[in-house]
Structure formats: structure tokens, C-alpha cells
Chains A and B, each alone.
Chain A
Amino acid sequence: MTQTQTGEALAAEGTPVIELRHVDKHFGSLHVLKDINLKVGKGEVVVVIGPSGSGKSTLCRTINRLETIDSGEVLIEGKPLPQEGKELASTRAEIGMVFQSFNLFAHRSIIDNVTMGPVEVLGVSRDKAREEGMELLRRVGVAEQAEKMPAQLSGGQQQRVAIARSLAMHPKAMLFDEPTSALDPEMINEVLDVMVELARGGMTMVVVTHEMGFARRVSDRVVFMADGAIIEEGKPDEFFEHPTTERAREFLDSIKGH
């Protein structure tokens, strides 16, 4: 029993859900990603931190090809990320993404936002999508707002809807690009709570965030980026207590400072 479980766990570890190999990217003459290597195993939660402009968002966005790469490889469950067409679309459908600015579809109601993916992309029936959508909205605590428009919700509520919208696709992994940094302080926790619950439920997650509390509570690994490169990686407690590089130390001092 225990043996098969460890066997499975090892097999799962064998093929990471997300893997970046020697990924390089430029914006014009700006080298934004420098030889990035990263593996995210099944159920793993990886937090990416680093100073502004270090390439965190770009890294996150290359994983579902919202940004293309110059060289290297992005692998999803061991398979190269398709470059275009139906294949790319269906791989994207398997990876959820939550944006800093929520990006709820402004012309559709909350429930429509959550059901559109399943209905339009997966071909789920409207009724079934709606039923499941309401369940998800309940789970993130905004079921009463289902018929409202996105602009009528608070930032925290919108972000929770955005998470529900991603979950409706039953993703294999989720990417979060600073999901709480556009929020008023009193709304940050309601979003983090949903993310903690997801992480505990075994979701594979890449989270760009400066929320150290979140990183310590649920992340398996912290990745520190500066100037387009991964400078340091480690278990959250070790990283936050004893960063080994000067850059990381400076950065941690600067965010603890205020």
C-alpha cells in the first residue's frame, strides 16, 4: 500500500506538470528571461518573487504562451507546449490563469464569466455549466452576486470570481500573476484564503506574489528572480530566514522595510 503510493508519487514527480528548459526571451534589446530552468511537480506550489521588472510576469505568461519565447522549451506534462492552433488552445484550457487586474469579461454577468469557458471551449451544456458554476461561486463566497456585472463587485470579489472562472475548466495547474497586488489591504485575505484552500486541495500552482505569509504557509518552494534570471531557490522558511545571495537579502530587507 505505502509502497505503491510512493511509487505513484515518484512516477508523478518524474514528469513535472510544468517544466521550463533553458528558456530565453528578449523584448527588443531587453533580455527579460535568461536561461530559465524550472520544474513544477504535481501538487506543488511554487512562489516566484523578485523586484519589479525582473521578469516574473513574463515567466508566468510564457507557461501558457501569452508570451512567446526566443529559445528553450516549455513542457506541459512532459509534452512541448504547442505553438498555435487548436493544440495550443486545448493546452491553455488545461492551465488556469489569474491576472493582477482580474480581467473579468466586462460585458457579461458573473455567472456567465464562470460558465463561458466550459460552454464555449469544452462544449458543456449550459445547464450543467451553470449548476457547476454556481457551486464554484458558492465555494469562493460570491454566489449571491451571480447575476451582477463585474464592475458592480469589489476587487476582492472580482478576483475570487476570476479564480472560479479558471476552476470551472478543471485545470491541471494554475498560474497566478500578483493576484492580490491590485487589491485594497482588507480584501487581500479573502483572496489568499481561497488560494490556500486550493493549494491544500492539491492544486499545482505557480504564484507570483510578495505575500510572504502565503508563501510560508502553503508553498513548497520559493523562486527568487532578478534581472531575468533565477538567482536563488529554496524552501520558504529557509529562503526567508537565510537567503544565500546578496540580491535576495537586499530584496527581502526592502519589502520587510515597509
Chain B
Amino acid sequence: MSATNSTSMRDALYEAPGPHTRRRIRFWTAISLVLVAAGIGLIVRRFYVTGQLAPRYWELFARPTTWIFLGKGFLGTIEVSLMAGLIAIVLGFLLMLGRMSSSRVLSGICRVIINFFRGVPSLLLIYFFFLVVPTYGVKMSSFWMITLPVGLAASGVLAEVFRGGMNAVPKGQSEAAYSLGMRKMKVTMKIVFPQAVRYVIPSLISQLVVVVKDTTVAYVVSFPDMLQNARVLITNYDALVSVYFVVAILYILVNYAINHLAVSLARRSGTSIISRTSENPV
């Protein structure tokens, strides 16, 4: 997300920059650092002026209980995000397979499902699981009431992201595989998808970040995620800005971690080697 971690991203996905580019990058990095520092200075000044820096808003962070409580919420957010992300990836992958199947019926059904999940706001899906599903006698913990809708909503987007990646793999790759006698499933799993992964990483990251952000509405189903616990702290200590400030930083750290994880996974799957040179001079 920030200027610093995009370096690793660039190494994994693009060519190494030349000397001219490097000089330009250094220039703009310096400019942005100055701007960021100025921005931070402005915020701190504002805090000072409005009295938000007063000890009574911050001393709660000296207590271990505050951190334990926030930590529990943090774990809740991580659990919900991981499960929702997993649902989104697995279901998104399956929906993509169905959408790309040569069976018109299956493909049509999957297209409808994908468009539904993509089109409906995730909050509406959450209300559906929270308010409608229980009336059918299905008992669900608040954990699933938040993970399912968030995961489903993201699966529709990921299915399309995956499909775009599959279509970006040059046709010759699957033709070569077919001509060796591979069947469609094998061609998809062994040849096309592993190469599609490198095209989808940027969109995959942004979508997983959306998942983490979507989990912040967990309060609707009163699941104790980080934001929910933050609200409790705010009410208890009457410290709005300071708590939100700390929590925002924690969310940024989570998304930073997602970014890092995705890039290192991408590197392990060898994407940097393929991207170094264009493979098919035609």
C-alpha cells in the first residue's frame, strides 16, 4: 500500500529498473517522504491544538488489559479474515472453473452466481445471514454470519479475477498441452492456472484487503472483531480519536502482511523467473 513495500512487489512482477529509472524513483521517493512527514506533522499539530494529545486519551494504552482486549479483537479479525479469504479463494476458483467449463448450462449458472455475489453489497448479504437465515431454523454462530457473506461476496470478484488471469495466458500454452494429449482438467490445473497466478496477484491482494475491510462490519452480528472491541474501549474510556488511531495502524499492518505474503508466495511459485523475459517472440 505504501511507497516502501511496493519495492518487493515491483521486483516480483516487473523488470528491474535501469539507472535512469532508479534516479527518477529516488527523486520521487524523496518528494513523497517530505510530503508524508509534512502530513504527519500537520496531524500531530491538529491533535495538539484540539487537545487530543492529552494524557487521559492515551494512558489507557499503558494498561495491559487494553492490549489484551484489543489483541483478542485483533485475533478475531484475523480469524474472520482468514476464513473469509479462504472461502473467497476456494469458491472463486470453483466458480471460475464452472464459468469456463464447456457445458453451457454449468457456465450459465456460474455466471449468474458470480454476478449476484459481485453485484450485491456485502452488508446486504450479512443482513441476509443475520436476519433471514435464522428464520429458516438454521443456527449459525456470529463467526459464520460474518465469514460466509464476506467470503461469498469476494468469491464473485475473485472468480472474475481468476478468469481474467486464465485468459491472459497465451493460447499456445494450452494448445501445446492439448497436443501432448492432456485433457482439459489437466491443462487447466497444470499449465494454465499456475501461469495465471502471476497475472492475478495484484488484484488478489486488493481483494483480500477488501475482505479484511469488509469484516469490520462484524458489529452487525456482534462478533468481537478488532473494531467491535475498539468501540467498547471508546465507550469505556471516552477516547475516540486515540483508539481509532491505534486500530487504524493495526489494520494497515494486517494489510501490509497480506501484501507481503502474496508477494513471497508469488516468488516461490517462480513468477519472477517467467516475467524476466517475454516468453514467446512471435
Contact = CB atoms under 8 A, between A and B. Distances in A.
Q: Do chains A and B stick together as partners?
A: yes
Given A101-B172, A150-B279, A106 B195 contact: yes
Interface residues of B, number: 29
A151 B180 contact: no
B202 interface: no
B177 A105 contact: yes
Interface stretch (A9-17, A27-35, A36-44, A91-99): A91-99
A94 B179 CA distance: 9
Interface string B234-256: 00000000000000000000000
23 contacts: A89-B183, A92-B178, A93-B180, A93-B181, A95-B179, A100-B282, A101-B281, A101-B282, A103-B170, A103-B280, A104-B176, A104-B279, A105-B177, A106-B279, A117-B180, A117-B181, A120-B182, A120-B190, A151-B278, A151-B279, A152-B273, A166-B179, A182-B282
Which 4 A-B pairs rank lowest in CB-CB distance, beginning with the nearest? A93-B181, A103-B172, A103-B176, A97-B179
A90 B276 CA distance: 35
B179 to A, nearest CB: 4
B191 interface: yes
Nearest to B190: A120
Contact of A107 (B180, B186, B274): B274
Residue among A99, A117, A120, A182 facing the most chain B CB atoms (10 A cut-off): A120
A102 B172 CA distance: 8
A66 interface: yes
Interface of B: 170, 172-173, 175-183, 186, 190-191, 194-195, 269-271, 273-274, 276-282
Interface in A110-125: 116-117, 120-121
Interface of A: 64, 66, 86, 89-97, 99-107, 116-117, 120-121, 149-152, 155, 162, 165-166, 169, 182
B277 A89 contact: no
Contacts of B194: 107
B174 to A, nearest CB: 9
Nearest to B282: A101
A90 B274 contact: no
A169 B176 CA distance: 13
B176 A105 contact: yes
A64 to B, nearest CB: 6
Contacts of A96: 179
A100 to B, nearest CB: 7
Contact of B176 (A93, A94, A97): A97
B179 A66 contact: yes
Given A151-B273, A151-B276, A155-B281, A103 B178 contact: no
A66 B175 contact: yes
Given A93-B181, A151-B274, 9 more contacts: A66-B179, A89-B183, A92-B178, A92-B180, A95-B179, A107-B195, A121-B182, A149-B274, A155-B281
Nearest to B273: A149
A215 to B, nearest CB: 23
Nearest to B274: A106
Nearest to A162: B176
Given A149-B270, A152-B277, A169 B180 contact: yes
B116 to A, nearest CB: 31
Nearest to B186: A120
A150 B281 CA distance: 12
A243 B270 CA distance: 52
Contacts of B190: 116, 120
Contacts of A102: 280
Residue among A95, A104, A105 facing the most chain B CB atoms (10 A cut-off): A105
Contacts of A106: 173, 195, 274, 279
Contact of A99 (B176, B195, B269): B176
Contact of B180 (A101, A116, A149, A152): A116
A100 B282 CA distance: 8
Contacts of B191: 105
B282 A169 contact: no
Nearest to A181: B282
